[in-house]
Structure 1
Amino acid sequence: MSPQSHPTGLFRLGRLPALAGVAAAVAVLAACSGPVDLTAPTPQAKARTICRDLVSHTPDVVDSQKRREIAHPSPYTAAWGDPAITLSCGVPKPPALNAASECFEVNGVGWFSEKQAAGYRFTTIGRKVYAQVMVPKKYVPSDPLVDLSKAISDQLPVVQPCV
């Protein structure tokens, strides 16, 4: 079947400029979403260098989402996509995390998971510093933790492995 005779008409040569215009408009709107409003943590002195190193080693793309600008830039935060997947390093221990909490591993990184209204909050377990990743519902069941695990493994020293 030739492009001009496709039954939906989407592939007719006359429709390509219109589709390109729509795609360009969508790209412009996506780019106009603005910086991510993310409150930076205030890590303790011993965690600051570790967190700066972690954030500086995070990938530019997480779960196929590009890095985003943050409204109040901090060396302890990073964001990707819209809605934003966010990473905050040097956060306090989650109140619900205790010795009986379930731990799961992604590429050697232990995580504590908490369901939130807007998605999930994952906090590293067994590291010298707590780092949190917020994952909006839009990205479930994908796993941005896979893309972040190398930087976390390399930059956040293990104190106790996830068991």
Structure 2
Amino acid sequence: MSAHRFPCLPARAVATAAATVLLAVAGCSSTDAGAPVAVPSPSAEEAAFCRALDKELPETVAGLDRSDPEPESELTAGWGDGAIVLRCGVPRPGRMSDPQAQGVEVNGVNWLLEQREDDGPRFTSTYRKAYVEVTLDKRYAHDAGPLTDLAAPVEKAVPSSL
């Protein structure tokens, strides 16, 4: 085992180097992109519905501008830098088999409601040929309002499974 010694740098040089690195990192990041989101892996049929949905999604939801998460995908969308995130082609949630599960109907689209601890709710469309998941941050803890802007595109692009 060998010990390496490095010459001591003056505090000012270290601070300058740290500031340069922070500025470089900040300059490379986009403030328009939301936080990373897991991209679903749906079947080919479901992916086709999701691509159609992506074309129908609005530029604003609940007054928030669209700011899609990373990585870029036709299967995900976002508004308000992660306040509202949509993923299309997600697996069927296990809670859909629970007879005690809560649901809501918004403009002709039924959604499973899952309350998340320390965060806002998660909604997953039901009775559709592809599952569409919408997660909302804490400010929507008791508000399904953003679903009103998303219901029509889901209804148009993702056919009913009934």
TM-score class, shorter = 0.7 to 0.9
- Name 2:153's counterpart in structure 1: 151
Deviation, 1:105, is 0.5
Deviation, 1:38, is 0.9
Q: Deviations over 1:130-158 (max 9, x none)?
A: 11000111134441000001100101111
**Cα distance in 1 between the residues matched to 2:64 and 2:47:** 26
- Name 1:94's counterpart in structure 2: 93
Residues 71 and 99 of structure 1, relative CA distance in 2, 3 Å threshold: closer
Amino acid at match of 1:116: R
**TM-score normalised to the size of structure 2?**
0.74
Deviation, 1:77, is 0.5
**Cα distance in 1 between the residues matched to 2:120 and 2:36:** 17
- Name 2:105's counterpart in structure 1: 105
Deviation, 1:39, is 1.1
- Name 1:18's counterpart in structure 2: none
- Name 1:63's counterpart in structure 2: 62
- Counting aligned pairs with the same residue, the percent is 35
**Cα distance in 2 between the residues matched to 1:159 and 1:97:** 14
Gaps of 5+ in 2: 1-29
**Cα distance in 1 between the residues matched to 2:121 and 2:103:** 15
**Cα distance in 2 between the residues matched to 1:127 and 1:53:** 14
**Cα distance in 2 between the residues matched to 1:50 and 1:113:** 22
Q: Which secondary structure does the structure 2 equivalent of 1:90 belong to?
A: strand
Gaps of 5+ in 1: 1-30
**Cα distance in 2 between the residues matched to 1:125 and 1:57:** 19
- Name 1:115's counterpart in structure 2: 115
Residues 145 and 52 of structure 1, relative CA distance in 2, 3 Å threshold: same
Q: Which secondary structure does the structure 2 equivalent of 1:126 belong to?
A: coil
Residues 45 and 34 of structure 1, relative CA distance in 2, 3 Å threshold: closer
Does the aligned pair in 2 maintain the 1:113–1:120 contact within 8 Å?
A: yes
Amino acid at match of 2:51: R
How many corresponding residue pairs?
130
Q: Which secondary structure does the structure 2 equivalent of 1:153 belong to?
A: helix
Residues 33 and 75 of structure 1, relative CA distance in 2, 3 Å threshold: closer
**Cα distance in 1 between the residues matched to 2:138 and 2:34:** 20
Amino acid at match of 2:52: D
